[in-house]
Every structure is written in structure tokens, then in C-alpha cells.
A and B are shown apart, each in its own frame.
Chain A
Amino acid sequence: GAVVSQHPSWVICKSGTSVKIECRSLDFQATTMFWYRQFPKQSLMLMATSNEGSKATYEQGVEKDKFLINHASLTLSTLTVTSAHPEDSSFYICSARGGPDTGELFFGEGSRLTVL
């Protein structure tokens, strides 16, 4: 099946710094990518929908200036957590959809962020 690669898998940073997480579709072109956050023992929470070549659509309550999303190509979307704080520590997961009429999603491995 299709492969989505996410990097880094683990990241530890100091409070106030910025962290970039990459999500790549390795063998298909992803017109739409989704970024999720998951806190321990909770389900996935959609943060934003990223469409190639246009601005991301953020879910209610997600700060667009804090969580910068860039989808500059059909195979790469990035999530930058700016001025990270300990409460941003979470498991961030991306997923990609192959086309506008394709329902199936392919998930990255996830990135665990710990902010000290």
C-alpha cells in the first residue's frame, strides 16, 4: 500500500523554541494532508487540513500562528510548532489522501514532541 513517512519520530526541545515536523508521501502524490494531535489515552484530534498550493484550513480552537502548516509540494507537508511550551507536548500524526475523491487515508508513523 501507499507509504507516508513522518520525521522526526521523537523530538525534545526547550520551551520557547520552534520545532518542524515533516510528512512525506513516498509513492503517491498527496493533494490533501491532515495533521492530528493525540494526547495520552485520547482519540485523534484533527488540527488542520493541508491542501497543496493553498492555505491550510484549521479546526476551531487551533492557533494558526502557533501551528504553521506548509504544503508546498504534492509529496511534502510540514507542521511547525512555534514557541513551543510544555502543554504542546503531544503525539502529532499526519495522514495523506491520494486524491479529492479518495476516502482512504494513509498515516505517518507519528512524531512525539516533548517540550521541557
Chain B
Amino acid sequence: GQNIDQPTEMTATEGAIVQINCTYQTSGFNGLFWYQQHAGEAPTFLSYNVLDGLEEKGRFSSFLSRSKGYSYLLLKELQMKDSASYLCAVTDSNYQLIWGAGTKLIIKP
């Protein structure tokens, strides 16, 4: 079956760095997404990785290793507004999006 695993919840301190991991097992692979979702709102696109390596975008970076079925989202200089759920999603060979359950990130002062 197809499966996306990510931690349920993580806690970090304002100003620090946090890494949210995502592992996947899917029928084929056509890209991995990270989305941010604040409570009561629709997901917001953060990053898209289709090739191995690190993609940096401001305070957020996303890494992909296709051979390991692994990705992480790295958030630097954490701010209180970064408290949200972070969703990992993989596009399979049919371009269907398989969603992880999301990681709730709690930022403490």
C-alpha cells in the first residue's frame, strides 16, 4: 500500500531551528510537497521537490532523497506564527497526491 509517515507533533522554541521528517512508500514518484496549514485555513504551498537535494527558500528549506524515500522540512529562526500543521504529500505515478497526516508544530516563547 501507499504510506506517508511524519511525526504527529513537535515542539520548538522561538528563534530555534526545527526539522520535520517525512518518509514515504508510494507507487512511483513524481514529486513531494510540503504545505503549511493554520487551524481553520486551507493549506499553503511551501515547497516542491522532485530531484534529490536541498531546496532553500528563505527561512524554509526542503530536502529530498528519492533512494531513501525520505524528505525533511527545515525551519530556521522560528517565529510564533510558524505554529501550524505541516503536511507532507507525495505525487505517485498516476499524479495522485498521497497525503501524510500532518505534523503539528508548537512554538514556545
Contacts and interface: CB of A to CB of B under 8 A. Distances in A.
A113 B101 CA distance: 22
A104 B87 contact: no
Given A34-B97, A105-B97, A112-B40, A44 B87 contact: yes
Interface stretch (A12-20, A68-76, A78-86, A95-103): A95-103
A91 interface: yes
A88 interface: no
Nearest to B6: A43
Given A43-B101, A103-B30, A110 B48 contact: no
Given A103-B48, A107-B42, 20 more contacts: A42-B101, A43-B87, A43-B100, A43-B101, A44-B87, A46-B99, A91-B40, A102-B95, A103-B31, A103-B33, A103-B50, A103-B95, A104-B31, A104-B45, A105-B33, A105-B45, A105-B97, A106-B45, A108-B42, A110-B42
Interface of B is mostly: loop
Contact size range, B: 20 to 34
A104 B50 CA distance: 11
Contact of B95 (A44, A100, A107, A110): A100
Contacts of B30: 103
A57 B38 CA distance: 29
Given A103-B30, A103-B31, A112-B40, A44 B99 contact: yes
A1 B35 CA distance: 15
A56 interface: no
